[in-house]
Amino acid sequence: MEMRNLNKKFNIYALLFIVSDRARARQAIFMHFAKLS
């Protein structure tokens, strides 16, 4: 498992999380990570 690729994906999602003004979008991203973990 390559941590670099995982970190890149996480950074992209984190950026979307910060940029997003919609609570639903933030919740959807959070739930997405909850399913992965």
**Model-wide pTM > 0.75:** no
Task: List Cα–Cα distances, 1 to 10, 16, 30, 34, in angstroms.
Answer: 14, 24, 22, 19
Distance of alpha carbon 27 from alpha carbon 33, whole angstroms? 10
How confident is the model at residue 21, as a pLDDT? 64
Number of domains in the chain: 1
Q: What range defines the domain where residue 7 resides?
A: 3-36
How confident is the model at residue 1, as a pLDDT? 56
Q: pLDDT digit string (tens) for 1-37?
A: 577 887 888 888 888 777 766 778 778 888 888 998 7
Question: DSSP character for 22?
Answer: -
How confident is the model at residue 15, as a pLDDT? 80
